[in-house]
């Protein structure tokens, strides 16, 4: 039986797409971790009810970094101040907003050494979760290719070639996660 190249390519492309998405999600999750400096990305996952539509805070006003330790949120509609303030309070970012009637300020306290180490541990856990997801994607892809090999839809040599090529993609994805982890650890530990 001839090798169904299209089927194999679809399996590998699907797995490589999942590898990319896993890395992207990990990168996105890292931006939401506060590292002691004001970072507008900590608000990315907070959504508010803006006239019946759940909207991210950055779509209902301006967010500016003030002196490295303070975020200033200036909503375009001042009636949204209370809604934004409440959404930040119930979120898990751990910062209390102050509302002066015109803008909301989020003051980022400087992190203690102990808190920095906790954050690094959290980053490492997230990194390990991303690597586990990558290894699961690898397993699923290789299982699909093995089934094709056992069903004599591809030769052992063809299987070995596809496996070696896919392993390179997996290694590249894991290296990407490790690089992002190292960058975030450095950012968190920098005083």
* 30-49 pLDDT per residue, tens: 887 766 677 787 787 888 88
- 190 DSSP assignment: -
> Is the separation of the CB atoms in 171 and 137 below 8 Å?
no
Instruction: Let me know how many helices (H) and strands (E) the chain has, helices first.
Output: 4, 6
The token pair at 155 is: 């030769």
- Identify the CATH assignment for 5-32+112-189 out of 1.10.132.20, 1.25.40.10, 3.40.630.30, 1.10.10.60: 1.10.132.20
Q: What is the pTM of this model?
A: 0.73
Instruction: Indicate the domain borders of the chain.
Output: 5-32+112-189, 40-107
Q: Which CATH architecture has domain 40-107?
A: 2-Layer Sandwich (3.30)
Residue with tokens 């209390």: 96
> Is the separation of the CB atoms in 146 and 57 below 8 Å?
no
> Is the separation of the CB atoms in 166 and 12 below 8 Å?
yes
Q: Are strands 61-66 and 70-75 parallel, antiparallel or unpaired?
A: antiparallel
Judge if 5-32+112-189 and 40-107 fold alike in CATH terms.
no
Which helix (H) or strand (E) segment holds residue 110: the answer is: none
Instruction: State the pLDDT at residue 24.
Output: 93
Instruction: State the pLDDT at residue 60.
Output: 86
* 4-27 pLDDT per residue, tens: 778 888 999 999 999 999 999 999
Contacts of 178 (CB under 8 A, 6+ apart): 127
Judged by DSSP in three states, 4 sits in coil
Local confidence pLDDT in tens for the 191 residues of the chain: 556 778 888 999 999 999 999 999 999 888 877 666 777 877 878 888 888 888 888 888 888 888 778 889 898 888 888 888 888 888 877 788 888 888 889 888 777 888 888 889 999 999 999 999 999 999 999 999 999 989 888 888 988 999 999 999 999 999 999 999 999 998 888 76
């Amino acid at each position: 039986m001839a090798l169904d190249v299209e089927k194999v390519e679809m399996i590998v492309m699907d797995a490589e797409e999942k590898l990319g998405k896993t890395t992207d999600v990990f990168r996105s999750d890292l931006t939401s971790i506060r590292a002691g400096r004001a970072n507008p990305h900590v608000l990315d996952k907070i959504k508010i009810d803006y006239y019946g539509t759940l909207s991210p805070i950055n779509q209902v006003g301006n967010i500016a970094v003030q002196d490295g330790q303070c975020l200033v949120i200036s909503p375009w509609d001042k009636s949204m101040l209370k809604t934004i303030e409440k959404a930040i309070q119930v979120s898990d970012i751990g910062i209390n907003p102050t509302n002066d009637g015109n803008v909301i300020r989020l003051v980022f306290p400087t992190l203690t050494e102990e808190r920095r180490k906790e954050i690094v541990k959290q980053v490492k856990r997230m990194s390990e979760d991303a690597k586990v997801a990558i290894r699961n994607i690898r397993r699923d892809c290789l299982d699909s290719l093995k089934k094709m090999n056992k069903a004599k839809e591809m030769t052992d040599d063809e299987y070995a070639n596809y496996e070696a090529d896919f392993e390179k993609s997996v290694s590249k994805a894991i290296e990407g996660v490790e690089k992002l982890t190292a960058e975030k650890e450095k950012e968190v530990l920098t005083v």
